[in-house]
Amino acid sequence: MNNRASATQRARQSLCLGAGLVAAGIAGSLAALPAFADYEVVTVTNGGTIDGVVSLSGAVPAEAPITTTKNQDYCGSSIANPTYMVDSSGGMANVIVYLKDVTKGKAPSGEPLKLVNEHCMFSPRAQGAMVGEKITISSDDPILHNTHPQSAETNATIYNIALPFKGFSVTKPLPANPELIKVKCDAHEWMHAWIMEIGNPYYTTTDSAGHFTLKDVPPGNYTLQVWHEAAGEKSEPVVVTAGKATKMKITLAAK
Amino acid sequence: MSFRVARLVPFVAGLLLGVGPAVADTGEARDGKVVYDRWCVTCHGAQGNGQGEAAQYMSTKPRDYRQGTFKWRTTPSGSLPLDSDLEHTLLNGIYGTYMPSWGFLGERSREDVIAYIKSFSPRFATEKTQDPISIPPDPGYSDESVTRGTGVYQKYNCSQCHGAGGRGDGPSAHDLKDDWGNEIVPYDLTKGHVKCGDTPTDIYRVFMTGLSGTPMPAFSDSMSPADAWDLVHFIESLSPRYVKNVAGTAANSTARVNP
């Protein structure tokens, strides 16, 4: 059985490589190849910096607090809604900021990403990642959580790991695709986090004032992309000059 | 060799091997389509999307094959099942659902239909299958192990979904959904059957690998094999219907086939 099946698989792989580019469905599967393969690590000695702020225009949507429905003795009966975290000057937190289509530049940090289950929420809410990077998932809560990343587009499970008690942590690789991952905890249905896989290490997430910095960018013309779970995405052209900081102001509209 | 030629070579090789342009025409998958169209299509649908004509009448929905997501596997959470895992489900059926045992089809037909089912998801062509999790031999059912297993059930907070008594009525039991947005309930462990086989090894595997596509997570990263066997014995203690193996078993024991 195994021999026959593997022969089928080999034949199918051949077909994918041969005819894949003309068949849209099969071509989609080729996207499974890590985008890291398209990125070259070089020593950046004359890099520039992109320094900016992402703001929300107009009134901040009034989001009702999360009403917890289980483990209230630990989680409390309600939790502040984290969808729009906007400060008094409009700066918005939890916006993923990255450069698109960068082919060469600095090395990735090599440190695993972190995703912490704390006080019945995920932290951080949103973060970028190198394609296929490792992620350390941990729990600070004395209750059962499960960390369940799924494709944001199709809901297909990537994996689903139990975090049964406080202090447990595990490190797992992210898959080569999809690009945008939505993480949920089934045991506490209000818990969500977002991870965007990016083909280069020039990504960050805005802080509580909406501020971000991308360092050691080789001089040149780029497209800066921002993404927020509710306010959507936007891209802006940016020119990076050797040894200089380019200032950026990006505004997203509430939806 | 240029990039373009390199891509063409396996294609031409495929033609020389008599492999047609569509996946469904390759060897066993072609024969499997005949089996599928006769026996499987009514529930699982011609597109393999789990939306056959009869699916609307079922509370546990037929599998949608397009994501390559399968509940019952010997492999780690989220990974593809092995052919032998799909064979196990075909042979055993899924207790408490409309999925019967397909033992009468014969091994050859089951192999063919497995090849066809795999053709619905591109993952089987692009991803490597992972090794099964290792399962040490069952040390055997005993009252001492059940007592320890009670502690394991509490320590790992299984009651969050399955409830203090294992009846599937924990605090998180009531608003769970699967990957397809269907409501799904934690299993009532006191029924005395586990859906995908009732041997101690089957029970061990279910909670260690988790049920992909559902809220049931994998515990293989957090639970030791000793704790896991104690938990199996605790679950077995919840119903007289479970076949308790007092003598213990060797690893990789085969599951009992439904009568």
Domains contained in chain B, CATH given = 20-126 (1.10.760.10), 143-236 (1.10.760.10)
Neighbouring residues of B52: CB distance < 8 A, sequence distance ≥ 6: B40, B41, B42, B43, B44, B45, B46, B62
Q: How far is A98 from chain B (nearest CA, A)?
A: 28
Flag whether pLDDT at A31 surpasses 50. no
pLDDT at residue A96, rounded to an integer: 98
Helix or strand or coil: residue A146? Answer: strand
Helix (H) or strand (E) holding B27: helix B27-39
Name the average pLDDT for chain A: 87
Residues 96-155 of A with CB under 8 A from B: 143-144, 146-148, 150, 154-155
Residues of chain B with pLDDT under 70: 1-27, 249-259
A215-227: pLDDT as tens digits: 999 999 999 999 9
Token digits of residue B44: 């699982």
Which chain A residues are closer than 8 Å to B90 by Cβ? none
Which of A3, A6, A157, A188 to probe the B interface (max B CBs under 10 A)?
A157
Q: Are A130 and A161 in contact (CB under 8 A)?
A: no
Q: Which amino acid, one-letter code, is at A86?
A: V
Please give the angle made by the CA atoms of B210, B212 and B216, to the nearest 5 degrees: 45
B182-208: pLDDT as tens digits: 999 999 999 998 888 889 999 999 999
Which chain B residues are closer than 8 Å to A166 by Cβ? none
Flag whether pLDDT at A33 surpasses 80. no
Task: Tell whether A230 lies on the interface with B, counting CB pairs under 8 A.
Answer: no
pLDDT at residue B243, rounded to an integer: 87
Give A178's pLDDT tier (boundaries 50, 70, 90): confident
Task: Tell whether A187 lies on the interface with B, counting CB pairs under 8 A.
Answer: yes
Which of A135, A160, A163, A182 to probe the B interface (max B CBs under 10 A)?
A160
Q: How many CB pairs under 8 A join A and B?
A: 165
Flag whether pLDDT at A34 surpasses 50. no
Q: How far is A105 from chain B (nearest CA, A)?
A: 25
pLDDT at residue B197, rounded to an integer: 85
A125-155: pLDDT as tens digits: 999 999 889 999 999 999 999 999 999 999 9
Structure pTM? 0.84
Answer whether A71 sits within 8 Å of B171, measured CB to CB.
Answer: yes
